[in-house]
Structure 1
Amino acid sequence: MTEKQGQSGHMPIVSSSHLASNEAMTLSEFEYALTMMNNAFQRWMQSCSTTSGMSELSPLDILVVHNIYHRNRPKRIADVAFTLNIDDLHTVSYSVRKLAKLELVTSVRQGKDTFYNITPNGEAFCNHYRDVREQCLVEALKTMNINDQLGDVATLMRTLSGFYDQASRAVRSL
């Protein structure tokens, strides 16, 4: 067993060894895995979107259109950004304009606010995406029998996002 390996013989895999101090080794390993997961997830979303007939959508566009379709309720750009934990409203606004040009969403003014709804084209895209996802990803994950664990991991990741948000606020006061 090397000095970098822990008691279990586990050898951490990190992308930035200068950040992987003894105190932060597991955090560095988690962040590298999160980076890999994020990149794989974005690649997956774009592949699924392309198969569903929308090769021009970015990962953010895909998240935004699905969020607007969520519960089939109209949403403001600020609502979408808040739900997706995005600070920069401009990126969500740009995405919504792109989705409107592609006739996947439509807007309705109500007083001072603009609300966005899914169009029949957007609904068809989201449903086709869901079907491809079921066929290619959900079926593959069933064989691993990890559904309960995925829920626990999701809860942990949402909790950790709060720590990263708090650390982000703290670092701005340094």
Structure 2
Amino acid sequence: MPKPKSSKRLVAATAPSGGSGAAEFQPNAVSRDLSDFEYALITLMFGFQTWSENCLDAADFRGLKSLDILVLHAVNHRARRRRLNEVCMVMNISDTHLVAYALKKLIAADLVAVHLQGRERVFEATAKGEEACLAYRKVREQYLVPGVDWIADVSQRSKQAANFMQAMTALYAQAGRIATAETAGNPKSPPLHTKR
């Protein structure tokens, strides 16, 4: 991956007192287009989360949140046992606690089983979990796919979109690492207080 064009070291901006400094920042055209993409991505993300919950509800497996459902599909994919870190890697989730909690819920619901493989815990879908995944796919095929099929050139468009989103995933990860590394020596403000 190429590094961003700007080679200038990032410096924390200090706005004059009484001003936000927003007027001094003028994003270029690519930045504005990226903002449009990111807003569409946010609405797509939450729309997909709602759909995944509605889909499994319609399949008569109720009570799971979107992340639980996606973790179940990740564990069930290709019918092989997976370690916690493998599930996190497949889903590009850095916070293992989120996935661990979802797995705990899935185990309690008898959708996922945990086994010891040496000293490691590995997870696999139970028969009930496989049934839930199959029921999800059937509801998806019946209610979502026909609507998507109305879009012109949907196969080509979906492949292009998937490729673009995979490239953007890599670019976000790279930019995050570079930003963290290049600002590591800057004075840091204390963490924001988020508890009241």
TM-score, normalised via structure 1 length? 0.86
Cα distance in 2, alignment partners of residues 91 and 56 from structure 1 = 17
Q: How far 1:20 moved relative to its partner?
A: 7.8
* Per-residue CA distance 1:53-98 (angstroms, 9 max, x = gap): 2332111111100011100001111100000000011111110010
RMSD of equivalent CA atoms: 1.7
Task: Write the letter of the residue equivalent to 2:172.
Answer: Y
Which structure: larger Rg? 2
- Structure 1: which 5+ runs fail to align? 1-16
Question: What secondary structure is seen at the aligned counterpart in 1 of 2:82?
Answer: coil
Change (3 A) 1:20 1:141: farther
Question: What secondary structure is seen at the aligned counterpart in 2 of 1:78?
Answer: helix
Cα distance in 2, alignment partners of residues 69 and 167 from structure 1 = 32
The one of the two structures with greater contact order (alpha-carbon pairs below 8 A, sep at least 6) is 2
1:52 maps onto 2:76 in alignment: no
Q: How far 1:45 moved relative to its partner?
A: 0.6
* Per-residue CA distance 1:98-150 (angstroms, 9 max, x = gap): 00000000011010111111111111110000000001111111121411110
* Structure 1 counterpart of 2:156: 148
Mapping for residues 24-63 of structure 1, pairs under 5 Å? 24-63=31-70
Q: How many percent of aligned residue pairs carry the same amino acid? A: 34
Task: Write the letter of the residue equivalent to 1:107.
Answer: V
Question: What secondary structure is seen at the aligned counterpart in 1 of 2:63?
Answer: coil
Q: Is the 1:20–1:28 Cα contact (8 Å) retained in structure 2?
A: no
TM-score, normalised via structure 2 length? 0.77
Question: What secondary structure is seen at the aligned counterpart in 2 of 1:172?
Answer: helix
* Structure 2 counterpart of 1:159: 167
Equivalent residue for 2:105, pick from 90, 94, 98 = 98
- Structure 2: which 5+ runs fail to align? 1-21, 184-196
What is the number of residues matched between the two proteins?
Answer: 158
